[in-house]
Structure 1
Amino acid sequence: LSTAMSRLIKLLLLAQVSVSTCLAAWAPLNPEETLYVYTSCFDEWAPKDGTQRKAVAETWFKSWDLKPDNPGTHCFAKCVLEGVGLYDGKTNTMAVSRVVEQQKAFEKFNSYGPKEVNDLTSALSPIKPSSDCGQLYKVYTPVFEKFKKTIRSLYHGHKEVTEKIYKSLGSNIKQKDETYATFCAKKHLAKATKLRHCNIRQFSMNVKPDDDLKKYIDCLFKGYRYISTDGNFYVSAIQMNFRKVKWFFCRHQNSCMIFTKLETQKVTLKSKLS
């Protein structure tokens, strides 16, 4: 595991180089990206109790209702709004122009049109959001309730439509039954020799970097959501995954002791990413 952590640090530093040439502004979200937003926000804010968790999943995803009116739902709503780019937490504003971009990107797959989107943006524009989950929920919910059908279509809430998009985008989107490692390798390592391909996939320390490797790492870390589309590291996401791995090994492998050294390396890792 110590070697694995060293490899991770090397990959992160390589990714830090790659993002300098791979920066991108906000772009309309495809179904894979919105699915990640929904599931990660659910994991963070849904009740931990199994029965309650299942009930909330039905409410939030099947019925598309922002209920019950409680702190968990409030912060789930904020998390989703930030995740899809509709709420900009840095400027504390509603990024209304992105709604139009989202509509144009996938308009051929949906039945709604510019009129519905114009009505939605007109309703969103006067909103004065807050960084507080409860306050943001309070001002956004009336708009959500009135334009739920349009919002659900905009952000890929209909399975029958998303399946068409997955099929249409083909190899340009990570398919549901595909890992990000496989998707990124197909996209960026097609020219690599078999040995180089294997070494890269095994995170070998002897792989020499080139443009294809940088693009592969960039794709991989954005897929894992370790790097944002604008080139910033999500240090919290990396630390969260570290905690999940630690929990697994402590519970199932009886290997808690090995994490003592790795815990000290987290400080080094964080300083390299900051």
Structure 2
Amino acid sequence: MFITAVLLSFLAHLFVQGSQPWKALDPEQTLYVYKRCYEDHLPSGSSRRSYMLLWNDWKLEPNDAITHCYAKCVMTGLQLYDPKDNTFKSERIPIQHEAFKSLNRADSREVIEYQKAMASISSGTGSCVELYNAYLPVHNRFVNLSRKLYHGTVEGAARIYAAMPQLKQKGESYHAYCEKRAWNGRNQADLRKARKYVLTGSPELKKAIDCIFRGLRYMDDTGLKVDEVVRDFGLIYQSQLEPEVRSVLASCRGTQAYDYYSCLVNSKLKEEFKKAFDFHELRSADYAYLLRGKVYEGPKKVREEMKKLNTTVHF
């Protein structure tokens, strides 16, 4: 009887999760997609800058394997393509438009044409090259429109940030953003303890950690993204700790962000986790940080750079 009840509860959760309407992406979300896809796909060496300049201008060039997989990364991140069922999601285009139509200055009739064009193409096998070849004619025809819809212009994104102060702003770290939402100026003693990695267990800290884990892309509605946590250890030159990181997270009791955070803070990895977590805070205020060739130079340097940002610093 107990097993049946648990199974029904689990199936109900999947049904609710699967039936949730798709939500339009805000400028923070799309900016993260663009910069992360740059990080993952820009080549090293002398050609790196030429690729970056072309992609900055929304040109899917050169026509090679690097650009093919960059294009797939962006389409996946913008949720125009779903790799799970290997389909383009043209029905999401008008939803994206409606959410920001008073600010994006896109032509509604052109949006309909863009949706029709997307609906007419096939994803093939879902490979980088087949997705690229299918989407490229659509992209070239509607590139100016898609830039408006997906916040790809400085002016358009600025209008939305100004009109929606509830969004995480450029130059604001995710930690500072989530602190404002969780503590809202109250219980500052608890906040100060939390900033020192004290596990107070307060509702405010739990809310903040859930917000931060989602902002750092450690978690989403499907659960923990272990690879993202592991990646952060690698960025502070601690890749050798990957097996231990995975072990700590796998053995953690509970599935909430605060559960995983507590397990890391209570583990032998605590000091290295603090360094990785603090470095990601810095990068969360500036999604182009790594793209400018900047690297981790230790806790002191992180503290110095945090003080230069337009963000709340508690070091």
Deviation at 1:203, TM superposition (A): 2.1
Inter-CA distance 263–158: structure 2 relative to 1 (3 Å threshold): closer
Give the aligned partner of residue 242 of structure 1.
Answer: 233
Distance 1:28 1:154 in 2: 10
SS at match of 2:145: helix
Give the aligned partner of residue 168 of structure 1.
Answer: 163
Distance 1:59 1:113 in 2: 25
Distance 1:125 1:175 in 2: 33
1:246 counterpart letter in structure 2? Y
Deviation at 1:100, TM superposition (A): 0.9
Distance 2:206 2:62 in 1: 44
CA contact (8 A) 2:191 2:205 kept: no
Give the aligned partner of residue 215 of structure 2.
Answer: 223
Among 187, 197, 221, which residue is 2:181 paired with?
Answer: 187
The structure, 1 or 2, with the larger RCO (C-alpha pairs under 8 Å, 6+ apart) is 1
Give the aligned partner of residue 27 of structure 2.
Answer: 31
Deviation at 1:266, TM superposition (A): 2.2
Which deviations, in whole Å up to 9, do the C-alpha atoms of 1:46-75 show, x marking residues without a partner? Answer: 1111x32211111001x2100001111011
Task: Figure out how many residues of one structure are paired with residues of the other and give that number.
Answer: 235
Which deviations, in whole Å up to 9, do the C-alpha atoms of 1:246-272 show, x marking residues without a partner? Answer: 25xxxxxxxxxxx76x44422313524
Among 81, 102, 105, which residue is 1:108 paired with?
Answer: 102
Among 59, 72, 79, which residue is 1:85 paired with?
Answer: 79
1:107 counterpart letter in structure 2? K
SS at match of 2:235: helix
Distance 1:26 1:209 in 2: 32
Deviation at 1:94, TM superposition (A): 0.9
1:43 counterpart letter in structure 2? E
SS at match of 2:236: helix
| TM-score (normalizing by structure 2) | 0.70
**Coordinate RMSD, CA, aligned:** 2.1
Give the aligned partner of residue 200 of structure 1.
Answer: 194
Among 227, 247, 258, which residue is 1:268 paired with?
Answer: 247
Distance 2:222 2:104 in 1: 31
| TM-score (normalizing by structure 1) | 0.80
Distance 1:215 1:119 in 2: 42
The answer to whether 1:44 aligns with 2:44 is: no
SS at match of 1:245: coil
1:64 counterpart letter in structure 2? W
SS at match of 1:147: helix
Distance 2:217 2:188 in 1: 27
Distance 1:226 1:131 in 2: 25
SS at match of 1:106: helix
Inter-CA distance 168–208: structure 2 relative to 1 (3 Å threshold): same
CA contact (8 A) 1:59 1:67 kept: yes
Deviation at 1:142, TM superposition (A): 0.9
CA contact (8 A) 1:221 1:227 kept: yes
CA contact (8 A) 2:68 2:132 kept: yes
Which deviations, in whole Å up to 9, do the C-alpha atoms of 1:66-106 show, x marking residues without a partner? Answer: 00011110111000011011101111111111111110011
* Residue identity (%): 33
Give the aligned partner of residue 9 of structure 1.
Answer: none
1:79 counterpart letter in structure 2? C
Q: Which runs of 5+ in 2 are unaligned?
A: 1-13, 256-315
Distance 2:248 2:22 in 1: 27
CA contact (8 A) 1:181 1:201 kept: no
2:36 counterpart letter in structure 1? S
Give the aligned partner of residue 147 of structure 1.
Answer: 142
SS at match of 1:246: coil
More helix by share: 1
Inter-CA distance 208–185: structure 2 relative to 1 (3 Å threshold): same
1:58 counterpart letter in structure 2? L
Which deviations, in whole Å up to 9, do the C-alpha atoms of 1:123-169 show, x marking residues without a partner? Answer: 11122213211111111111111111111111111101111111111
The answer to whether 1:54 aligns with 2:43 is: no
SS at match of 1:225: coil
